[in-house]
Amino acid sequence: MIQFIYDSDRELFENAIEFAQKQVKRLIESHSDYYPMYTVGGKWKHEGPAWTHWCDGFLPGMMWLFLQYLGADKPDSRFWFEQAIRYTKPLETRKTDNDVHDLGFIFFSAYHRWYQATRDKAIREVVIQAGKTLSERFNEAGQYLHSFVAEDSLFIDIMMNVGIVFYAARETNDRALRDVAIRHCITTRRCLVRGDGSTAHEGIFDPATGEFLRQSTQQGFRGDSCWSRGLTWALYGFTTSYGYSRDPRFLHTAEACADYYITHTPSDGIPPWDYNAPPENRSLLDTSAAAIAAAGLLRLCRHIPDPLKGHFYWSTAINILRSLSTRFLAIADQEWEGVLRGGVYHLHKGLGVDESVMWGEYFYVEALEEALRVIQ
């Protein structure tokens, strides 16, 4: 095994983000205009099923992040700007996609970053439309945005998408839209977040009466277990919702999820794929959950009034990034096409198990870029 020695976190993280740029360049050169989800044996291009279509924003999103990291005047800045637009534009048609609950993933990662880079109002309109489309999934009786699976199903993942409804509401001054977002968060908090800060993946309702029936799962071990990625979607998603609403309940929930993550994850910051996984796959990790936790904690620490606790979240995120950037970076394997190894998409369906996954790459780069803006 090759050992890489770095003098500082800054050097380690710079090396990681340089490597990420190299791998994304390699991907777009070998598989032009292809939007991957997960690798198979370290290779992006394959015929493996998607289950659901939610990842297309992450590749251009990484390109916008590279541009943000580099600034406007570096040799590669123009390249990433042009590639980011090239890969973002084709996503516009998804703004009216009613088949998925993932419009926040798709449009916040790419279109919204394009808007932030250019302040072009026409681009903002696309993001607003995506937020309005997502709001159409609202089940009035149960007070939740339903998942792509069925009207009776609420996913914890939707916490990562409800932010785009808050955004559309704010940008258009639409109180009814904001209410939809708030009520979704309250229902998720009540039905999917447990008293100890752990989370269920899915909630099942009677869609006609709105009655909450039970906790369930699609990708976790069991309905009563804590699927680690779901926990990190909640940590990050409630932080975002607090940022838009300033509702203290959402900050409290984000902190409860963060505290569960910190107290139940090994000291290197990398969680098992499910905190209640059975012995036969207990050692399987999910580095994508770690990357999301790092990115979420870096956002959460900005909102924490207590500087000691804020610093604790910050240093936990840095610890996670250190682990990812040393033990899981695919840098030593010339054949591996991804950036981070050890992600899991859908264990039960056998999709992307112990592989690179696009959202893991994206949130890892987001966290690196954020950390590098601060550390010396």
Q: Where do contacts with ligand GLY occur on this chain (CB under 6 A)?
A: 54, 157, 219, 229, 345
Please name which of 40, 57, 248, 212 lies closest in space to residue 139, comparing C-alpha atoms: 212
Looking at beta carbons only, is 54 or 313 nearer to ligand GLY? 54
Looking at beta carbons only, is 87 or 227 nearer to ligand GLY? 227
Looking at beta carbons only, is 229 or 341 nearer to ligand GLY? 229
Looking at beta carbons only, is 254 or 351 nearer to ligand GLY? 351
Looking at beta carbons only, is 102 or 152 nearer to ligand GLY? 102
Closest separation in Å from C-beta 54 to ligand GLY:
5
Closest separation in Å from C-beta 97 to ligand GLY:
15
Closest separation in Å from C-beta 234 to ligand GLY:
11
Please name which of 66, 105, 117, 64 lies closest in space to residue 86, comparing C-alpha atoms: 64
Closest separation in Å from C-beta 254 to ligand GLY:
18
Closest separation in Å from C-beta 288 to ligand GLY:
8
Looking at beta carbons only, is 169 or 290 nearer to ligand GLY? 290
Closest separation in Å from C-beta 199 to ligand GLY:
12
Closest separation in Å from C-beta 81 to ligand GLY:
29
Looking at beta carbons only, is 81 or 261 nearer to ligand GLY? 261
Q: Which residue's beta carbon is nearest to the bound ligand GLY?
A: 157
